[in-house]
Amino acid sequence: MEELGWRLKRVRELGGLSQRELARRSGVSNATISLIENQQTSPSLGILKKVLDAVPISLSDFFALELRGDAKVVYREDELTEIGSGSISYRQVGTDLRERKLQMIVERYAPGADTGRSMLSHDAEEGGIVLSGRLELTVGEQTHILGPGDAYLFNSRLPHRFRNAGQEECVLVSACTPPSF
Q: Please write the tens of the pLDDT for every residue from 147-165.
A: 999 999 999 999 999 999 9
According to the model, what pLDDT value does residue 71 have?
64
Q: The CATH number of the domain where 22 resides is what? A: 1.10.260.40
Burial of 31 (0-12, 13-18, 19+ CB in 10 A): exposed
Structural domain includes residue 69: no
Specify whether 101 is located in the same domain as 17.
no
Q: How many domains does the chain have?
A: 2
Specify whether 111 is located in the same domain as 168.
yes
Dihedrals φ, ψ of 55, to 5°?
A: -75, -50
For the segment 36-50, what is each residue's pLDDT rounded down to a tens digit? Answer: 988 888 888 889 999
Q: Does the pTM of the predicted model rise above 0.75?
A: no
Q: d(Cα 91, Cα 122) in Å, to the nearest integer?
A: 19
CA distances from 81 to 13, 36, 92, 128, 151 (A): 25, 35, 5, 18, 23
- What percent of the chain has a predicted confidence (pLDDT) above 70? 93
Q: d(Cα 42, Cα 2) in Å, to the nearest integer?
A: 9
Structural domain includes residue 39: yes
Q: Alpha carbon 5 to chain centroid distance?
A: 24
Helices and strands (H, E) in the chain, number of each type: 5, 9
**39-48, 119-128, 138-147: least confident range:** 39-48
Specify whether 155 is located in the same domain as 90.
yes
Q: Where among 18, 38, 64 does a domain terminate?
A: 64
Q: Where among 10, 41, 64 does a domain terminate?
A: 64
Q: What range does the domain containing 10 cover?
A: 2-64
Specify whether 172 is located in the same domain as 90.
yes
Specify whether 83 is located in the same domain as 169.
yes
